[in-house]
């Protein structure tokens, strides 16, 4: 009689549905006892179930959080899910630090920090932090308190040991920042005005001027916020609009009676779901990850299982029939309607161009039907160091970023792009099931794969990787030939082409002359976009790895400095440059006298 999460899978081990239950056994059994009482969607789902997995947890709250995580991970077709779901961003205040640092993270962990969010847009969270930095000179760098950062030197950061009373002043800044993010901007403004008057009385005019500027910044924020309640409530107002298989949710965030922010979310797989079920799914997934809950959530109708939602999430959920709150719901619904209509027009435009591009490619490569899944591969390295391979995926002409993969090159030394491509293709198709997933082709068209040979097998089916209908290699004849050899060895029969950047030429197996699509054609634009996306993804992965390796290599060369001491040095001084510029007495405190002497010899 334990709570937990259950997972339904089909014959191919694909996740169909993820659900939570107070009593697992009873909930799972209910799907199979009276199928006639199930909604049509659930009856279809039950007919596909081949395997059931369950996870027991200690509480219903843990079950709800685990359900939300698994839905985000697997994106099951019978769950209502966020379209293009990504992890939200949160503002984190690391309260356990001596001088609490402020930064952004994508996951909440129980580390004693205070989290605010979520923010659905990376741009919006950066704009928020930019504003907050002007009002509250908080600490955002990793430098320890004894080593002031650049912002500290110009008066934009108080988060360092800057003399007597500096820690108390900074902790006061931190408290004000927290109160501001909680929605108590008026209270913070009043405190700052008192401090400004006191500073002026003491004839500390420079401090008074800085406080005055912070007050002006807060006043500008307050002027932009709309007062919607005089009762100083903390509320979220949810308005929803749905069209076919999509629903848009507009969320008004009201803090201390003022409209602070609004967010939009798109949900999919909603066509056969009722409004109350969609609301329940949204509330579960959204508030299950929320750092700070409002007191009340206001909707048009009560979601299903509302009693459990209130109890597990600690929310008060209201569905007003009249008055101010009902008007706010109607306003939120109007905004959701407008947003979904605009997004649909945007998607239709992108999808229309993608279809035209696929049609051009289909005609040029003599396919009988468009390639639904296209994979493109690229290599990024400088003189063979920190090489990274990338795989990007486009489905129906649009990027599918959840299927992007990066490959750290393991077996090739030096600058050898051909060998690196062979390595990542071998790893990608290392367990191929020997099925030909190529799109139907014109009988008179030349083959786009390099023939058949005895091999080991291709797509990593156990990881849910599908076979592509077309493989694109960033490069010309040489890169294409290198890849075709591996595909023959692995018995992979998938159309493969090379796309050379200089003249945008398409190289095909067995064809001496390259193919050129007309300039300005949608087919050429789509191929360029896929190739450029693979290059962008590879470069990003290379830079991240190269940055880490640069730091690692300099300290790794120092005898006696192992992983633990290296970690302590980077944690204490922030970077190799920070170690270089540190006083010997500070380094001795971390790694001792002998290791400090050795370190100085090598740095």
pLDDT value, residue 227: 54
**Domains plus CATH for the chain?**
4-79 (3.40.1440.10), 89-227 (no CATH), 235-341 (3.30.420.10), 365-545 (3.30.420.340), 563-598 (no CATH)
Task: Say whether pLDDT at 36 is over 70.
Answer: no
Q: pLDDT band at 542, cuts 50/70/90?
A: very low
pLDDT value, residue 203: 84
Q: What angle do CA 386, 388, 394 make, to 5 degrees?
A: 165
pLDDT value, residue 442: 57
Q: Which of 142-151, 435-444, 581-590 has the lowest mean pLDDT?
A: 435-444
Q: pLDDT band at 580, cuts 50/70/90?
A: confident
Distance CA 310, CA 297 (A): 10
> DSSP of 291-359, one letter per residue?
SS--SEEE-SSPPTTHHHHHHHHT-EEE--SSHHHHHHHHHHHHHHHHHHHHHHHHHHHHHHHHHHHHH
When comparing pLDDT for 207 and 240, which is higher?
Answer: 240
Q: Which of 37-46, 228-237, 276-285, 474-483 has the lowest mean pLDDT?
A: 228-237
Nearest to 297 by CA among 273, 280, 322, 277: 280
Q: Which tens digits make up the pLDDT trace of 117-130?
A: 777 666 667 777 77
Task: Say whether pLDDT at 414 is over 60.
Answer: yes
Task: Say whether pLDDT at 162 is over 80.
Answer: no
Q: Which tens digits make up the pLDDT trace of 255-312?
A: 777 777 788 889 988 888 889 989 988 988 888 777 667 889 999 999 888 887 888 7
Q: Which of 61-75, 161-175, 176-190, 535-549 has the lowest mean pLDDT?
A: 535-549
Judge contact between 429 and 459, C-beta under 8 A: yes
The structure's pTM equals 0.57
Average pLDDT rounded to a whole number, residues 464-492: 88
Q: Which tens digits make up the pLDDT trace of 339-356?
A: 898 888 888 788 888 999
271: Cβ–Cβ under 8 A, 6 or more apart, which residues? Answer: 244, 245
Distance CA 132, CA 545 (A): 31
pLDDT value, residue 344: 84
Angle at which helices 477-489 and 417-428 cross, to 10°: 30
Q: pLDDT band at 69, cuts 50/70/90?
A: confident
Q: Which tens digits make up the pLDDT trace of 528-537?
A: 999 888 888 8
Neighbour order of strands in the sheet with 102-105: 102-105, 89-93, 114-119
Q: What count of Cα atoms within 13 Å lies in the side-chain half-sphere of residue 375?
A: 24
pLDDT > 90 in the chain, percent: 18
| Partners of 472 in the β-ladder | 376, 497
pLDDT value, residue 295: 84
pLDDT value, residue 262: 81
Task: Say whether pLDDT at 450 is over 70.
Answer: no
CA distances from 458 to 39, 372, 435, 466 (A): 39, 19, 9, 10
Q: pLDDT band at 436, cuts 50/70/90?
A: very low
Task: Say whether pLDDT at 385 is over 70.
Answer: no
pLDDT value, residue 494: 92
Task: Say whether pLDDT at 238 is over 80.
Answer: yes
Task: Say whether pLDDT at 96 is over 50.
Answer: yes
């Amino acid at each position: 009689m334990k709570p937990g999460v259950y997972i339904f899978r089909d014959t191919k081990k694909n996740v169909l549905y993820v659900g939570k239950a107070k009593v697992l056994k009873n909930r799972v059994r209910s799907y199979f006892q009276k199928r006639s009482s199930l909604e049509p969607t659930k009856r279809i789902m039950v007919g596909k179930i081949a395997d059931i997995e369950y996870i027991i947890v200690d509480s219903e709250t843990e079950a709800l959080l685990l359900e939300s995580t698994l839905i985000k991970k697997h994106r099951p077709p019978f769950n209502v899910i966020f379209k293009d779901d990504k992890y939200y961003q949160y503002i984190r205040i690391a309260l356990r630090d001596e001088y609490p640092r402020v930064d952004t993270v994508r996951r909440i962990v129980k580390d004693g920090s205070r989290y605010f969010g979520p923010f659905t847009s990376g741009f919006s969270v950066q704009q928020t932090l930019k504003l907050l930095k002007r009002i509250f000179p908080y600490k955002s760098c990793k430098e320890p308190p004894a080593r002031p950062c650049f912002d500290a030197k110009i008066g934009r950061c108080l988060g360092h040991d800057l003399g007597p009373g500096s820690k108390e002043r900074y902790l006061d800044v931190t408290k004000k920042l927290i109160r501001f993010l909680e929605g108590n901007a008026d209270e913070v403004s009043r405190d700052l005005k008192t401090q400004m008057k006191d500073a002026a009385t003491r004839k500390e005019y420079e401090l008074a001027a800085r406080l005055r500027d912070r007050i002006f910044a807060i006043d500008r924020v307050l002027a932009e916020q709309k007062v919607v309640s005089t009762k100083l409530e903390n509320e979220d107002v949810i308005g929803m609009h749905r069209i076919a298989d999509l629903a848009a949710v507009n969320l008004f965030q009201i803090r201390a009676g003022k409209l602070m922010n609004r967010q939009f979310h798109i949900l999919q797989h909603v066509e056969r779901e009722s409004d109350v079920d969609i609301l329940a799914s949204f509330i579960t997934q959204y508030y299950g990850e929320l750092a700070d809950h409002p007191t009340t959530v206001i909707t048009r109708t009560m979601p299903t299982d509302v009693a459990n939602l209130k109890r597990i999430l600690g929310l008060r959920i209201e569905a007003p029939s009249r008055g101010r709150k009902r008007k706010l719901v109607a306003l939120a619904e109007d905004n959701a309607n407008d947003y979904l209509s605009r997004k649909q027009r945007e998607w239709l435009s992108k999808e229309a161009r993608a279809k035209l591009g696929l049609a051009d490619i289909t005609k040029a490569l003599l396919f009988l039907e468009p390639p639904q899944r296209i994979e493109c591969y690229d290599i990024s390295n400088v003189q063979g160091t920190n090489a990274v391979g990338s795989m990007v995926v486009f489905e129906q002409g649009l990027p599918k970023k959840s299927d992007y993969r990066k490959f750290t090159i393991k077996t090739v030394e030096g600058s050898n792009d051909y060998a690196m491509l062979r390595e990542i293709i071998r790893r990608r198709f290392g367990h191929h099931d020997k099925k030909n997933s190529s799109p139907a082709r014109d009988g008179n068209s030349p083959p786009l794969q390099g023939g058949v040979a005895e091999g080991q097998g291709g797509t990593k089916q156990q990881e849910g990787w599908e076979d592509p209908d077309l493989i694109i290699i960033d490069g010309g004849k040489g890169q294409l030939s290198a890849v075709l050899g591996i595909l023959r060895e692995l018995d992979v029969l998938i159309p493969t082409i090379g796309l050379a950047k200089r003249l945008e030429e398409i190289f095909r197996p067995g064809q001496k002359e390259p193919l050129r699509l007309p300039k300005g054609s949608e087919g050429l634009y789509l191929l360029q976009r896929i190739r450029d996306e693979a290059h962008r993804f590879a470069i990003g992965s290379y830079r991240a790895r190269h940055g880490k390796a640069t730091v690692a290599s300099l300290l790794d060369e120092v005898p006696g400095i192992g992983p633990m001491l290296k970690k302590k040095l980077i944690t204490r001084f922030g970077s190799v440059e920070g170690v270089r510029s540190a006083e010997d007495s500070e380094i001795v405190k971390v790694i001792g006298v002998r290791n400090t002497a050795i370190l100085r010899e090598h740095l």
